[in-house]
Amino acid sequence: MSDSNKDRWQSDLTLIADAAKEAGAVAFGFFNQSPEVWWKNGDRSPVSAADFAANKTLETILRKARPDYGWLSEETDDDADRLARETVFIIDPIDGTRAFLGGQKVWCVSVAVVHRGRPVAGVLYAPALEEFYQAVEGGVATKNGMPLAVSAARPEETSRLAVGEDLLKTFPPEFRERVSRQKHIPSLAYRIAMVADGRLEGTFVKGNSHDWDLAAADLILACAGGGLVDLDGRPVVYNSAGVTHKVLCAAPVLRIDEFLTAFAGRRDS
């Protein structure tokens, strides 16, 4: 990475960090206040006044500051113009809306800068937990200013995995015996951040996740010594025409092959 790009991404990180904090404060103002709710995706997914307000805050700040960047947000109608841009903002104003509406604290603002398909700056802000994660390409991931590192647990030790009970039952018995299944974590971005800070050894992400769920957390995990990959071990590519993804695995780099092999060895594979 050239020095000019390094400075550019660091400047972008400062920008998105400040924007995420402002959007987080806006969203937090609606927390436990019963905001108005609508339903989308065939009435399967809630979206609230808090999502829209946080999205507006982010869009106002970021698009003004970087008018040449593309834009992809869960709460903005998609514009194919982003496909012609080398660099885009990828946004989820509230990742974990159901948790937010239920008064649970595990939700976050997710903001990433993606360049040529990969994240180069990313932040996650969880206001109710008072946690702020950030990373820039080539740098060290931090949580509230302190460096992050993935778990150093070895394969023979117990692995704390965020994985559905039904899925885990299909894994080889010798693998299941070494797994401590963690309870459901309602924000996907936050779940990946838990792998980055070592509270989880890994997680499997069901198919149909979206760019905005993943991009910022992907970079934070990478800068902490982990990886987010598909079942062939390939990194996620962002800002394509399609923004959904098949099954993914997040884990420390040294454990990815182990987890992918276990997945391939399922009884129903």
pLDDT computed for residue 41 by the predictor: 72
- Structural domain that includes position 183: 159-265
Answer whether residue 153 is part of any domain.
no
What is d(CA 220, CA 224) in angstroms, rounded to the nearest whole number? Answer: 6
Cα distances from 23 to residues 18, 43, 82, 170, 229, in angstroms, run 9, 26, 22, 41, 29
> Does the annotation place 94 within a ligand binding site?
yes
pTM for the model: 0.96
**Alpha-carbon Rg for the chain in angstroms:** 18
Q: How many domains does the chain have?
A: 2
User: Cβ neighbours of residue 115 under 8 Å, at least 6 residues apart?
Assistant: 9, 86, 87
Same domain, 137 and 179: no
For position 141, which CATH number holds?
3.30.540.10
User: Cβ neighbours of residue 35 under 8 Å, at least 6 residues apart?
Assistant: 48, 49, 50, 101
> Does the annotation place 81 within a ligand binding site?
no
pLDDT computed for residue 38 by the predictor: 92
For position 254, which CATH number holds?
3.40.190.80
pLDDT computed for residue 44 by the predictor: 78
Residue 246: alpha-carbon gap to chain centroid? 15
Same domain, 78 and 15: yes
Domain end position, chosen among 92, 114, 147: 147
Q: What is the pLDDT along the chain (269 residues), one digit of tens a residue?
A: 677 899 999 999 999 999 999 999 999 999 999 999 998 877 678 999 999 999 999 999 999 999 999 999 999 999 999 999 999 999 999 999 999 999 999 999 999 999 999 999 999 999 999 999 999 999 999 999 999 999 999 999 999 999 999 999 999 999 999 999 998 999 999 999 999 999 999 999 999 999 999 999 999 999 999 999 999 999 999 999 999 999 999 999 999 999 999 999 997 65
Residue 252: alpha-carbon gap to chain centroid? 15
> Does the annotation place 213 within a ligand binding site?
yes
Answer whether residue 154 is part of any domain.
no
Residue 161: alpha-carbon gap to chain centroid? 16
Same domain, 69 and 11: yes
Domain end position, chosen among 126, 147, 168: 147
